[in-house]
Structure 1
Amino acid sequence: MPSSSRSPIGVGIVGLSARRGWASHAHLPALRLLDGFEVRALSASSAESARQAAEKHGVARAYGSAAELAAADEVDLVVVTVKVPDHREIVRAALGAGKAVLSEWPLGTGPAEAEELASLAAGRGLRTFTGLQARSAPLVRHLRDLIADGYVGEVLSTSMVASARGWGASVHEGGAYLLDRASGANMLTIPFGHTLDALTAVLGDVEEVSAVTATRRRTVEGPAGEIHRPDVADQVVLGGVLSSGAVASVHFRGGLSRGTNFRWEINGTEGDLVVTGDHGHLQMGEYTLAGARGADTALAPLTVPEHYFDPALETLRGTDAYNVGAAYAQIRRDLVDGTHGAPDFAHAARHHRLLHRIERAAA
């Protein structure tokens, strides 16, 4: 890590492509706006594709493999943005090179891989981070503080209905792996997993679990008319009890609805809070907050105070990259100051175990 708070953290991104992808869409714009980070290297699926990506994005060094990138002296933080089945090998290489690692969520294809990587990092004393950026969103942080400050009194229950956008009647180009349970990338782990992590950040851990999962769409059409037969759930219903004793219900469904696509209610002894949006990926997009308490007879809009927003990321407001940038800002503080505000691999392993409990309960 840098020797002083003014020294930039050298970032190497695994999976930054010249064509498309989450790294160029969200990670790179955020990193280039924040002081304290310097994107120094990238790797892609081949040396040539890495060269093309480096030329397009103006990155100084291009490597044909993640292992070469991780071994480079100029890289302090390895950022892993490839498909989930490839995480384990790449993260192991980065940890083996003694580097700090940020891996996109899900960390692994299941709890076994996540626990292995968390244990390896802990054994080597290395800093790790996982891309559960919904908890970094200004609205989610404000909501957490409202609950902690007693806006609704004692939380009695919470309920959520959400549409996942994907996992509906069709699948986009290159998305067939999202329909394969073995990939570890599906509706349960991605939109449900991100959003459930935000719920627990606000309201506390899920202690008791009951669940139903189902695959209601037996066939899904690809972009060229090809037919896929998914073996992942497009309906997930969680019923649970939180550590506070509050009752929780969460229903995620594939695709989009003509009705409600996101509504999260928190009901308490003194008031109510409601978050609404147009899809269930709480880690990205724009959501609105309303509340009422005491003698109020109807909900009224609540504005997230400006101090929850980072001025350095102002131009990313309303984009998918904003919350990624907010997460990077916390990661910078953690690396420089030795704090532990951003979710790490140990946190990721716990969250993987919770999702596994939900699957087991449904089974």
Structure 2
Amino acid sequence: MTNTTASPSVSVAPAPAAAPAAAPVRVGIVGLSARGGWAAQAHLPALRLLPGFEVRALAAGSAASARAAGAAHGVPLAFGDAASLAASPEVDLVVVSVRVPLHREVVLAALAAGKAVLSEWPLGNGAAEARELADAAAAAGVRTFVGLQAGSAPAVRYVRDLVAGGYVGEVLSTSLVASGRRWGPVFEPAGAYLLDRANGGTMLTIPFGHTIDAVTMVLGEFAELSATTAVRRQVVREEGTGRPARMTAPDQVAVAGVLESGAVASVHFRGGLSRATNFHWEINGTEGDLVITGDSGHLQQARLTVRGARGRAGVPEELPVPEHYQDVPALTPLRGTPAHQVGALYADLAADLTTGSGRVPDFAHAAHRQGLLDAVERSAATGRRVAPTGPVRTNE
């Protein structure tokens, strides 16, 4: 007789159900135009490459222009005003990409609709307006973000880590000279509104503001400063036509001060482009020096090179940015373009919405930064040293 042994019964646990894919963040862009512009140049290319986002809607100045933009860019929902876009149940995140004087109206509409909102920098037309919008956002209890994307640039993050890791030792001083690219002898027709200081889009608020935010991210805040501003070219000419126009926005901004660490800082922005140096930033320390150079003072867009020297080394040598700082593979096709930094900011924004982190500067941070710019203007107007005040966002 053959002995047979039954095979033991094996209990197989069912495979875990795949976690449902997170729903994409549905984006509505206010200011996306069929004629091009910053939203079409930077926001749209980045959003279309990044996973987790879907551009669902746009708003323009009229229903007709919105329809034209929707057709040009393949965006399904087109609205003739920002409030209608913000109220749409198809929109989760409102992106504000219009001229600075229009920010307040669009941001308030988004907050009233209870939507998360990303506003281009500067947040408001002046420090008081920025503080109003930050307070309104806090009262609404929604997530807010501001487009200070220079801090997302791989080279800037690398420099921050080099300083934090002791590459230069104790920071003794920093000096920066840069060109504003615009606000020179010739202006583009579409940029005419930037000539008027009252519109809030100036060399101080845009390239200086972006750059000084990155400087303080790397080295810390100003404890006190003194500033000089001037309009050296009071009449400039339109590109192509030669039409003269008056410029009231300063084309020279010079700031000297002391950082909270005790390091001495000097920053000088000049309008237009220089025949010599368009971006040169040095960080000098007890153990070494860092030199960051680029093609313009718009640090949020510039192509940057990092060099460094330590100890007795003489000439700074290039320090290539390690590849791991290029940590958003989807954005590889955009390297070297202004859209790359914007895309890096959106990648951080997605993480903020998913995990509750605070990687992207919010409206409170924007109001603080515009407070620093207000301190520059107050010092320039009075000739006195000024101590900037206000809360500072904690970077994660």
Question: Is this a same-fold pair by TM over 0.5?
Answer: yes
Please, which of 188, 198, 207 is the counterpart of residue 182 of structure 1? 198
TM-score by length of 2: 0.90
Quote the residue 1:233 is aligned against. 250
Q: Give the 4+ runs in structure 1 shifted more than 6 A.
A: none
Alpha-carbon distance between aligned partners in 1 of 2:44 and 2:108, rounded to the nearest angstrom: 23
Quote the residue 1:51 is aligned against. 67
Q: Give the partner amino acid of 2:198.
A: A
Alignment of 1:57-96 (within 5 A): 57-96=73-112
Counterpart check, 1:345 vs 2:384? no
Alpha-carbon distance between aligned partners in 2 of 1:282 and 1:175, rounded to the nearest angstrom: 19
Question: Are the counterparts in 2 of residues 4 and 336 from structure 1 also a CA contact under 8 Å?
Answer: no
- Percent pairwise identity: 65
Please, which of 135, 156, 159 is the counterpart of residue 172 of structure 2? 156
Q: Give the partner amino acid of 1:227.
A: P
Cα shift at 1:90: 0.6
Q: Give the partner amino acid of 2:204.
A: L
Question: Are the counterparts in 2 of residues 50 and 63 from structure 1 also a CA contact under 8 Å?
Answer: yes
Cα shift at 1:228: 1.1
Give the aligned CA root-mean-square deviation in angstroms: 1.1
Alpha-carbon distance between aligned partners in 1 of 2:88 and 2:234, rounded to the nearest angstrom: 47
Q: Give the partner amino acid of 2:336.
A: G
Change (3 A) 1:4 1:244: farther
Q: Give the partner amino acid of 1:174.
A: A
State the SS of the aligned residue for 2:262: coil
Cα shift at 1:188: 0.3
Change (3 A) 1:218 1:195: same
Change (3 A) 1:204 1:116: same
Q: Give the partner amino acid of 2:143.
A: R
Q: Give the partner amino acid of 1:213.
A: T
State the SS of the aligned residue for 2:150: helix
Quote the residue 1:314 is aligned against. 332
The gaps in structure 1 that reach 5 residues or longer are none
Cα shift at 1:279: 1.0
Question: Are the counterparts in 2 of residues 5 and 336 from structure 1 also a CA contact under 8 Å?
Answer: no
How many residues in Structure 1 have an aligned counterpart in Structure 2? 361
Cα shift at 1:5: 6.6
Alpha-carbon distance between aligned partners in 1 of 2:119 and 2:310, rounded to the nearest angstrom: 40
Counterpart check, 1:105 vs 2:121? yes
Alignment of 1:189-268 (within 5 A): 189-223=205-239, 224-268=241-285
Quote the residue 1:6 is aligned against. 22
Cα shift at 1:312: 1.0
Cα shift at 1:124: 1.3
Counterpart check, 1:333 vs 2:360? no
TM-score by length of 1: 0.98
State the SS of the aligned residue for 1:122: helix
Deviations 1:78-101 (A, max 9, x none): 000000000000100000000000
Q: Give the partner amino acid of 2:342.
A: V
Alpha-carbon distance between aligned partners in 2 of 1:197 and 1:151, rounded to the nearest angstrom: 21
Please, which of 298, 303, 308 is the counterpart of residue 281 of structure 1? 298
Larger Rg: 2
The gaps in structure 2 that reach 5 residues or longer are 1-18, 382-396
Question: Are the counterparts in 2 of residues 211 and 236 from structure 1 also a CA contact under 8 Å?
Answer: yes
Q: Give the partner amino acid of 1:17.
A: S
Which stretch of structure 1 is more off in the superposition, 11-20 or 214-223? 214-223
Counterpart check, 1:324 vs 2:342? yes
Change (3 A) 1:182 1:302: same
Which stretch of structure 1 is more off in the superposition, 288-297 or 327-336? 288-297
Please, which of 16, 25, 28 is the counterpart of residue 41 of structure 2? 25
Deviations 1:236-289 (A, max 9, x none): 000011111100000000011111111000000000000011211000031101
Q: Give the partner amino acid of 1:93.
A: A
Alpha-carbon distance between aligned partners in 2 of 1:228 and 1:18, rounded to the nearest angstrom: 27
Q: Give the partner amino acid of 1:325.
A: G
Cα shift at 1:295: 3.2
Quote the residue 2:393 is aligned against. none
Deviations 1:72-119 (A, max 9, x none): 001000000000000000100000000000000011110111111100
Question: Are the counterparts in 2 of residues 162 and 260 from structure 1 also a CA contact under 8 Å?
Answer: yes
Cα shift at 1:4: 7.5
